Amino acid sequence: MSNTTATPLYATASQRERIPTQIAEEYGEIALAVANRIAHLIRSNSAAGQDTVLGLATGSTPVGIYQHLIRMHREEGLDFSGVVSFNLDEYFPMRPDSIHSYHRFMWENFFDHVNIKPANVHIPRGDIPREDVEEFCRGYEEAIREAGGIDYQILGIGKTGHIGFNEPGSSRDSRTRMVALDSITRKDAAGDFFGEEAVPIEAITMGVASIMDAREVVLIATGEHKAPIVRQAVEGDPTPDVAATFLQQHPNATMFLDGAAAAELTRVRTPWVVGEVTWGRKLEIQAVVWLSEVTQKSVLRLDTRDYRENHLSSLITKYGSAGPLNGEVFNALISKIRGRSKLPRDKRIVVFSPHPDDDVISMGGMLHKLHQNGNDLVVAYQTSGNIAVFDHEVRRYLEFLRRFEGGFELTGAGDIRSLLEDVDTFLATKEPGEVDAPAVQQLKRIIREAEAVSGIETFGMARQQGRFLNLPFYQTGKVKKEPIGPRDVEIVLDLLEEHRPELIFVAGDLSDPHGTHRMCLEAVHRALDEYSGEAPEVWYYRGAWQEWPVADADVLVPMSEEELREKIMAIFKHQSQKDKAPFPGLDDREFWQRVEERNTGTARTVDSLGLPEYFAMEAYVVRRKGQPIAFEHIPTSSLGIEYPPDGSPGGAGPGVPGGRNIRLAQER
């Protein structure tokens, strides 16, 4: 349920947003809208006897778009024979056949599946001699000009605000060139290369001016980890420090965001600052918690003047004075706090954990209390997490197995010795970023499963309470996964049908930089759609990167110092992730350190609001199946692009030059 007015988004946001921006509840809406726009361009240009020139991007952001275009080609006859493409960038040096190559990515994910002419495909070369790069870049620009310029350019955005690989310091006038990659960009890419040291330090990229020359530009961003840079790109001043801000000067550019990426926009975080709102309880809590933080006063000490001086006059007018409002919000906040006695007891519960450590990292305190309360509890580990095990961990276990074999007389010891030799040989010759051999993948899976069992045993649970689903989508051996398929859903559904849970816990994390949490969430939601039993209550926890804000949380679970220590001990059982995890994101702290800070930080926030003081807290959002999990206050567009009869993008939206004819959502 939205708590905003039905005023079109652009009208309320135009004070702050400097580029037309659309928000969807989920990425799928964006991918379909963009694919539809591309399909229209191809068809209309083809009817006029003209080629369509596309500027394309790589990475997870555009994959859904390419999947829709492939479907349109196969099912609707969308013809790509008149399409010319130019990709944004490529690492340097990089062989075209490398698993990290954008050349290989584009052919595997798009070009191999449509009838585009190979001669019409242009991708920067990462395998040319360094002395030829400058000439190649001039030729790339000339090829774009000869094609008539780019009709439609797809962009993502990096955490530095780069578009393409135009890192901080890139000029508005820059063209295709060699660039040095920012340390943040390389760290962000480390997971794809199985370590930052394997990420190239340079790349070839189209320049800002090359991108700005496109007749139409769309930038797509998803996930909360993109929210801070998205706000800067949309609301900040144009600056070479954030190349995406230059898009504000483009006459026909649009940002498409999911709710998570839009979370820091002013109209989302503090909508009362940019326009009138219709006050509901959720938005009231959000506003009062924000005001408490701004004024550094507890809720019950806020006065009428605080509200009037901070854009909240309409809220105080609804209640007449601060006292009644403060009391209502204070009571709503304190009702969220649930100790062990107020938590589920004697229920059938399934906890879904995307990786083998997310359960203890994100809800170790809750897990312990649920076990103490006598619930019939199953922890379902959705993936093996095997790509997140360093090779040196495997070598440590190989040494253990050698000594184990030597210490006991075992039947089949020769088979063990042969396996050890094969694994040793592979690891000794393995290239950086190379996909592990099946035997190595199996060993890494076993390592993580053993750690997961040890983790739940910390709370007194039995090893049989851990279930390892090994969903097929994850079993690629690479960071890039397959889409969630029928078999993934079937495995989750089988568990639901077997256990018949009254309550489930799911990772509702929207900050996971590699998307596994999102895909695991999709598998659970799709299984619930097919589930024959009564829909269970769903409690969403966050992953290793972030906690639910106090205003958004439905349940706050306090932990004592001893309980937090037990939770951290369970995290310690995951030795392969300790000291230095393979996929830490941009936060170099160990997982237990992040947990300690986030759980004690939530408790400090609760204390600052004037509620009871606790040592630490976990936060949860509770929903029934079918309800959105977060960002309910965001006004979202359907992104169903309603073109005029001629199929053109149409005129500007309200108050926005160069906007699109996009149907905007009304209050839900």
Residue ranges covered by each domain of the chain? 28-255, 271-334, 340-389+431-623
* Confidence band of 6 (pLDDT split at 50, 70, 90): very low
Query: Is pLDDT of 627 > 80?
Result: no
pLDDT, one tens digit per residue, over 150-205 is: 999 999 999 899 999 999 999 999 999 999 999 888 887 776 776 778 899 999 99
Strands 503-507 and 537-541: parallel
Share of the chain above pLDDT 70, in %: 86
Query: Is pLDDT of 342 > 70?
Result: yes
Cα–Cα distance between 507 and 505 in angstroms, integer? 7
DSSP per-residue letters across 264-300: TSHHHHSGGGTS-B---HHHHHHHHHHHHHHHT--GG
* Confidence band of 409 (pLDDT split at 50, 70, 90): low
Token pair of 193 as six digits:
């290369």
Residue of 17, 90, 167, 547 marked active site: 167
Q: What is the mean pLDDT of residues 290-312?
A: 97
| pLDDT for res 208 | 97
| pLDDT for res 610 | 97
Distances 70 to 60, 65, 82, 205 between C-alpha atoms, Å: 16, 9, 15, 26
pLDDT, one tens digit per residue, over 472-520 is: 998 876 656 788 999 999 999 999 999 999 999 999 866 554 578 888 9
| pLDDT for res 625 | 53
Residue among 372, 377, 373 at smallest CA distance from 359? 377
Distances 135 to 92, 219, 630 between C-alpha atoms, Å: 15, 29, 50
Contact by Cβ (8 Å): 613, 621: no
Q: What is the mean pLDDT of residues 212-241?
A: 95
* Confidence band of 455 (pLDDT split at 50, 70, 90): very high
pLDDT, one tens digit per residue, over 510-568 is: 655 457 888 899 999 999 999 999 999 999 998 777 889 999 999 999 999 999 999 99
Lowest mean pLDDT among 83-97, 178-192, 235-249: 178-192
340-389+431-623 has the same fold as 28-255: yes
Residue among 94, 99, 119, 117 at smallest CA distance from 109? 99
Lowest mean pLDDT among 71-80, 83-92, 132-141, 636-645: 636-645
Contact by Cβ (8 Å): 339, 373: no
* Confidence band of 298 (pLDDT split at 50, 70, 90): very high
Which CATH code, of 1.50.10.20, 3.40.630.30, 3.40.50.300, 3.40.50.1360, is assigned to 28-255?
A: 3.40.50.1360
| pLDDT for res 413 | 63
| pLDDT for res 277 | 93
**Tokens 């996909």, residue located:** 435
| pLDDT for res 392 | 84
Enter the CATH code of domain 340-389+431-623: 3.40.50.10320
Residue among 59, 55, 384 at smallest CA distance from 250? 55
Task: Please say if 167 is a catalytic residue.
Answer: yes
Q: Given strand 348-353, what is the order of strands in its sheet?
A: 466-468, 376-381, 348-353, 503-507, 537-541, 616-623, 555-559
| pLDDT for res 324 | 97
Lowest mean pLDDT among 344-358, 404-418, 452-466: 404-418
Token pair of 620 as six digits:
């949860």
CA 558 to chain centre: 27
Residue among 51, 2, 390, 377 at smallest CA distance from 195? 390
- Residue 433, sorted as left (phi over 0), alpha (psi -120 to 50) or beta, turns out to be left
Query: Is pLDDT of 651 > 80?
Result: no
Query: Is pLDDT of 645 > 60?
Result: no
Query: Is pLDDT of 584 > 70?
Result: no
Higher pLDDT, 171 or 9: 171
Rg over CA atoms, the chain: 26
Token pair of 118 as six digits:
């190979």
Query: Is pLDDT of 26 > 90?
Result: no
Q: What is the mean pLDDT of residues 433-455?
A: 88
| pLDDT for res 390 | 81
Classify 508 as helix, strand or coil.
coil
Average pLDDT for the chain: 87
Q: What is the mean pLDDT of residues 414-430?
A: 84
* Confidence band of 385 (pLDDT split at 50, 70, 90): confident
| pLDDT for res 2 | 33
Contact by Cβ (8 Å): 174, 89: no
